[in-house]
């Protein structure tokens, strides 16, 4: 389950106690296109095929999972390498900005050299997706049941695909929220899921990178645990992507006006 046992001492009102905890794995994962290195991301080594496909789509490097002819995952020094075979005509070289650093789990921008490459949104409006507050609340309540890794280590993020009425249909986990979303996007693309018919639920805050990834993948609605940043809200309005967040009083649906 991509977790490792560690021993520690728990200090509580009843005194010190030796216990075993499970902690998530975090390893370098190199993403290659046609055996040419593109980026190295720190990620949880699970569902790596989904991760690579979703990363390619969310970065705008390819426009369809059908353009991938094959995926090969191999050990690579201290981590893993995932090599995507893609016909050159289907690679968007303009999107393939040079990365000089590894992508760390807490940041979706590590390694980007030019500030103009930081914000990359689709040219048009994403699909018009309904987002019901009752559906979002229902999905929030069910989410823990779809986080098997987090149930063990209490550390990883989840990204879930939900039906319009809030039933969770698919979920992916990773120590990084961006990686979890990439894995979900990849799984949705591989299963040829209709992205007009549902929304994404994240167990994290709503940063602009999550909005950017959803918009580039063609997802029309995103719900997160906490409110979006000002930039995330601005970009969501620009793309026509609906946003929701959990509130003390219920579910907040942000206006698009």
Marked catalytic residue, from 107, 110, 162, 206: 107
Burial class of 107 by CB neighbour count within 10 A (0 to 12, 13 to 18, 19+)? middle
Instruction: Return d(Cα 255, Cα 257) in angstroms, integer.
Output: 6
Instruction: Return d(Cα 134, Cα 21) in angstroms, integer.
Output: 36
Known catalytic residue at 107: yes
Question: Maximum CA pair distance of the chain?
Answer: 65
Q: Which two tokens stand for residue 152?
A: 């063990």
Residue 220 and residue 196 in contact, taking contact as beta carbons nearer than 8 Å: yes
Q: Tell me the three state secondary structure of residue 31.
A: strand
Instruction: Return d(Cα 1, Cα 155) in angstroms, integer.
Output: 13
Which residues are known to be catalytic?
Answer: 107
């Amino acid at each position: 389950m991509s977790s490792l046992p560690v021993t520690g001492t728990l200090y509580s009102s009843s005194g010190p106690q030796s216990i075993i905890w499970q902690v998530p794995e975090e390893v370098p994962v190199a993403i290659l296109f046609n055996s040419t290195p593109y980026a190295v991301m720190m990620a949880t080594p699970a569902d790596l095929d989904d991760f690579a496909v979703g990363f390619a789509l969310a970065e705008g490097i390819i426009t369809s999972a059908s353009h991938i002819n094959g995926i090969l995952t191999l050990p690579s020094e201290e981590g893993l390498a995932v090599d995507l075979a893609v016909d050159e005509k289907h690679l968007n070289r303009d999107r393939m900005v040079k990365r000089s650093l590894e992508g760390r789990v807490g940041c979706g921008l590590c390694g980007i050299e030019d500030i103009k490459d930081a914000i990359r949104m689709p040219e048009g409006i994403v699909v018009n997706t309904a987002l019901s507050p009752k559906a979002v609340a229902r999905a929030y309540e069910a989410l823990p049941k779809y986080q098997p890794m987090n149930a063990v280590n209490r550390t990883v993020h989840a990204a879930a695909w939900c039906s319009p009425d809030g039933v969770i249909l698919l979920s992916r986990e990773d120590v990084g929220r961006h990686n979890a979303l990439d894995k979900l996007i990849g799984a949705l693309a591989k299963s040829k899921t209709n992205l007009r018919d549902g929304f994404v639920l994240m167990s994290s805050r709503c940063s602009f990178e999550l909005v950017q990834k959803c918009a580039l993948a063609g997802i029309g609605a995103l719900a997160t645990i906490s409110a979006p940043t000002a930039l995330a809200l601005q970009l969501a309005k620009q793309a026509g992507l609906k946003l929701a967040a959990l509130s003390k009083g219920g579910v907040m649906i942000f206006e698009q006006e």
